[in-house]
Structure 1
């Protein structure tokens, strides 16, 4: 009996000693991972801010095929939430949002050892080349978890870093996919009203038009601001001459104005006028790099409907969306107009 008593006290001492040892070990953790994603902060933020996207980029469902997600009525912004059932049940609620900057979330995990409530946080910082995304989670391990991690082969920090890295890679993939989405719609025959516009003109390889367009429109816009000339519509491009064989083009970068403007001799910016014209209008929603496909679809429509492209009138593009105000290129709208023979007047 004495041996059993000594053994009992020995076990008790070991347990008390272990509890003191593990109880005094720091259980606080703050695990963060970062990735630079080549996209505007607003685009990345909007995806993370909506829980309905998490199933697409998160790594969890790939590791737990039994997971079933349930979304609350609100899935974006402060107060948004969702929950899941699987190998480990849980839920998440957004508690703080600074648009395009920060997100804070409360995470609840129902583990075999009880409920755990870490804090999750996101930071979005615009840097050269894109957005630096920081994803972190912090909390405190209770005594039971500290004992488990100390006596098992599970490395909590390493597993969390691995999950974060997979998640950030999935997020980057989804961001790129969303930014590259586009659609083309042939709107059909449209009578374009024409009007006065300020412009400058240059020649270029067709592949360099996009690169030159920005500075040219900047010059036109700067001239208008200096002379208190108001815009009367969105910027557009007129293709004056196209050499398909050599890939050359002469084009004008234009901004509409309400009336005729007399410019001084030698001015790099001039005033022109476009007569009303009958056109085939085709709308691109997406990146400008898809414009060649737009022209292909428009010309296909023209051929299928036995229409005739105007022999002298010039094709033009209207940029209905300002990229400075709409950071996601998937939402950019460009209207392409191909003049056809009809009741309109040529814009010679």
Structure 2
């Protein structure tokens, strides 16, 4: 059977015991699980004892299928070994491991999956490694946020399929790896604001990022950060423009920190895949309805639009 391995890690400002105890407690998993971001209807059950060998976390839902995780080994505060059993959409069993290591006053939490696919799904191995890796990265960010602050600032809601108008976006185009996207976008928007001020361009249009078609398997993203500008405004040197056509699009709203925007994107693709919506091979949009300059992280509103055929 086609085997695969996924591993991601993150540094957390907490001691190893706290990190271990949080991850070992199945009652915390709903808070930081990367798979339940839009599955608000999912039914989750946890055994009465949530943090011992033999404890089980079960889930069942329209978008997340059905399965369970069982603690097979708990070596406090170093390692957690779990058995992951999927029942739907297909049956499979994998071993999941969390390793916890003290590192220069912090704690490194690593999340590893060793699994296999049914032989007829051999072609999915590369996809599994890529997308599970992205899910693990999102989950690790949320567990870090929960351990360090006691909460996770992220709520994603599917708003439905809407018609979106054509837009002319003026800004700067960049590319980077997924893990660099936050800092790179921040610097790009700062440069855009400088250019707009230098050329006396209006700053009252929608603020957004336009994601151009990219190769998800390589983790490289191309995007334009900018503002919606009226067609009558001349394009000054140093800036680029892109024309976004009117389209039918799946709309997902995210409320919370920009650090967790990946939850909305993952939820949008999860919803589209389950409902068998065909994605259009055109730009996708991330529109910021307010900004960190005047809004607390928990109140930041971002609209995600995934164009459909």
Which structure exhibits the higher relative contact order, with contacts defined as CA atoms closer than 8 Å and separated by 6 or more residues?
2
Q: Normalized against structure 1, the TM-score is what?
A: 0.44
Normalized per residue, the structure richer in strand is 2
- The TM-score, its normalising length taken from structure 2, stands at 0.49
